[in-house]
Amino acid sequence: MGYEMEELIPIVAELAERYTGYESTSVTYEKANQLMEAVIYCIHEYETDVMEKTGECGASAEDRSVTEIASAERVSAKEAYLLGSRLVDAKVRAMKEMYHELIGHFHSYGNIALKDAVAAVPEFLKWYDIKYDPQNTILTLDYPVLKDLVEYSGIDAVYEYVRCICIEQRFLGRFPEDYVRRVLRAYSGDYEEMFENLCGIVLADAVQHILLKKPLDGSDVSESDRCRIQALLGMYSGEEAKEAVREIMRNFVREFYDDDGEMQRYMEKECGNIAVRAGIIGRQEV
């Protein structure tokens, strides 16, 4: 962020006035820190948006209005904050729409962690404070998705989390529900209670069946099958084994998901983990 503290303090003071109902600018040290973080969060939202938009071609009029401000001259901290606040609000609205579309066809497949994670999103929307605490993620996001969200917070974290679950639901929804449940139960008899990613488990099962040239019928992968998989992938180096699994995934997505690029990018990392679980390479190589 290219703004000095002297540029930020007046914005924080104005926020403090609003917070106290214009009766005082005096707030606790903790609250002042929270408001400063809110200002920085919104400015970061603006700066991130500008970096993304300036690399795009054919941006809409709304998109250009933001990038033109940035390219014409460096905007003030106050302008960056206000534009960022608008972007935070827009992302909240976009996440609401994405969530409403998700729950129309959502399946937890009996997994409690996934069910609870999706059910908790309305609580985030209920308590999320766009003006005074936009950096607060509120939710613990316990169900593990395949994307590392450690760098995200606030609406950015929850938006990405819901987006990840939407991708997973698209993937899992291509299979009959009883098929997914059979695969999960074969993986763990108490899969309903586990805190593991369901999409990764089903993807690994699909890759294994394709490697073995067995039909995707929900049948178990036996110990002898696992030995065959290890032998097949063992012919390659660690990186080659990961690439072989990636190619299987890409071909599968091309054929059954209309070459969904977002899904392919989301599952890239998990392909390395599948090779790890097959015993071909060490986890440090993923």
Domain ranges (residues) in the chain: 176-286
pLDDT score recorded for residue 65: 52
Rounded to the nearest angstrom, the gap between the alpha carbon of residue 257 and the centroid of all alpha carbons in its chain is: 19
CA distance 263 to 256: 11
Helix (H, G, I), strand (E, B), or coil: what is residue 171? helix
List the chain pLDDT tens, one digit each, 286 residues: 679 999 999 999 999 999 988 776 678 999 999 999 999 999 999 999 998 877 654 444 455 455 444 443 579 999 999 999 999 999 999 999 999 999 999 999 999 999 999 999 999 999 999 999 999 999 999 999 999 999 999 999 999 999 999 999 999 999 999 999 999 999 999 999 999 999 999 999 999 999 888 888 777 788 888 888 888 887 878 888 889 999 999 999 999 999 999 999 999 989 988 888 765 543 344 4
pLDDT score recorded for residue 157: 98
- Find the DSSP H helices in the chain: 5-19, 29-53, 61-72, 77-103, 112-119, 121-127, 154-172, 177-187, 198-212, 223-233, 238-256, 261-277
DSSP string, 208-248: HHHHHT---SS----HHHHHHHHHHHTTS-HHHHHHHHHHH
Q: Output the six-digit token pair for 131.
A: 């003006």
pLDDT score recorded for residue 223: 83
pLDDT score recorded for residue 71: 47
CA distance 79 to 71: 14
Contact of 36 with 1, CB cutoff 8 Å: no
- Sole residue written with tokens 């180096």: 237
CA distance 1 to 171: 38
